[in-house]
Amino acid sequence: MTEPLPQTRPIRVHSLAEASTACAAAAELNVPLLLVSAPGAAAYAGAGWFRAITDRASALYPEVAPMAVLDCADRPGDVLAALSAGMAALLFTGRADIAARLADIAARSGARLLTGLPEPLDLRGVRDPRRACREWLGGQGRISVTE
């Protein structure tokens, strides 16, 4: 149903500043980057917003070319809307039978439907996001939001 993910540790971003910080760290370390939206962001922020911030951040660091995954939670309509908006990677956590149908639709659009992700580093509230991203992408352990 889904292809394997690149060997990277995902980073959850909530803004252009956070997406840019993650891209800068990935460029510095020369590692692949997987940017993930907040849970269910497709419903309240929309695909256009997430695509805009990830496209702008990746334009600042073209050597990174992050994979941007929009979280659609268990809402198939949000998956379809995100595909129409041109999103290339989506996370769907609903029923397996619906996920299989959505994966077929996504594949025909040249997109990927994921049904799970490794636990991401969430940049919300992190005091030094650049350092946290460098350590996270460098393979170090969980980063405390108070660091």
For residue 101, the model assigns a pLDDT of 98
Question: Tokens 């996270």 label which residue?
Answer: 136
* Closest alpha carbon to 42 in 9, 1, 74, 4: 74
Could you read off the pLDDT tens digit of each residue along the chain, which spans 147 residues?
455 565 678 999 999 999 999 999 999 999 999 999 999 999 999 999 999 999 999 999 999 999 999 999 999 999 999 999 999 999 999 999 999 999 999 999 999 999 999 999 999 999 999 999 999 999 875 544 333
pTM, two decimals, is: 0.89
For residue 1, the model assigns a pLDDT of 45
Q: How far is CA 56 from the centre of its chain?
A: 14
For residue 5, the model assigns a pLDDT of 60
As given in the structure block, the two tokens for residue 37 are 């939206």
> Quick count: other Cβ atoms within 10 Å of Cβ 79?
29
3-state secondary structure of 131: helix
Q: Name, in order, each residue with C-beta under 8 angstroms of 97's C-beta and a sequence gap of 6 or more.
A: none
Q: Which amino acid is at 101?
A: R
Compute the distance between CA of residue 66 and CA of residue 89 in angstroms, rounded to an integer. 11
3-state secondary structure of 90: strand
Question: Tokens 């290339």 label which residue?
Answer: 88
Q: At what angle do helices 16-29 and 129-137 cross, to 10 degrees?
A: 40
* Closest alpha carbon to 6 in 58, 56, 50, 68: 68
Q: Are 52 and 32 in contact (CB under 8 A)?
A: no
